[in-house]
Amino acid sequence: MLRPFTDVDRAPFYELNAHPEVVASLGSAPTRDESDAMIDRFGTELEREGYGFWAVGVHGGAAFIGMVGLHRMPATLPCAPGVEVGWRLHPEHWGRGYATEAASSSLRFGFEEGRPARNRVVHDDPEHPVAGGHGPSRHGARP
């Protein structure tokens, strides 16, 4: 279940960002203020672009397990212009297909509803669910 972030997501999002297994992939943990500021930026991006990162919950289960969505890459990146599909889920929910399902929903939103994915969508991650964790480090999709 994808939905916009709300204030009730702030504490679990901070806990997600501080989890040692998540920090290992991020390089460092944000402070609580930095984590809250990320949620604020996600809301602004949703309003401005019509897409962004959404909070992810499980129907009939956990109200918040992480984030998934689309994000316009900064123009300073060599692969720009483009829109990234990204996710961050709590390790308790890894390996259950939630990232794949939510990322697929995000891509459908971008491609089929004609929103941001006019140029391309790219996500750099060797653990990308499309690759099953064993593929090359760059995965892309073009309309």
> Helices 10-18 and 32-49 sit at what angle, rounded to 10 degrees?
120
pLDDT score, position 111: 75
- In our burial notation (b when 16+ CB lie closer than 10 A, e otherwise), range 69-97 reads bbbbbeeeeeeeebbbbbbbbbeebeeee
**Alpha-helical runs (H) found in the chain:** 10-18, 20-26, 32-49, 98-112
Task: For 74-117, write each residue's pLDDT tens digit.
Answer: 889 888 888 888 899 999 999 999 988 888 888 888 777 655 54
pLDDT digits (tens, 9 = 90+) for 41-58: 999 998 988 888 999 998
> Which domains occur in the chain, in start order?
2-141 (3.40.630.30)
pLDDT of residue 113: 65
Q: What is the DSSP string of 80-110?
A: -S-EEEEEEE-GGGTTSSHHHHHHHHHHHHH
Average pLDDT, the chain: 80
Across residues 54-66, what is the average pLDDT?
89
Is the overall model pTM greater than 0.85, yes or no?
A: no
Band of residue 21 on the pLDDT scale cut at 50, 70, 90: very high
Cβ-based burial of 64 (10 A; exposed 0-12, middle 13-18, buried ≥19): buried
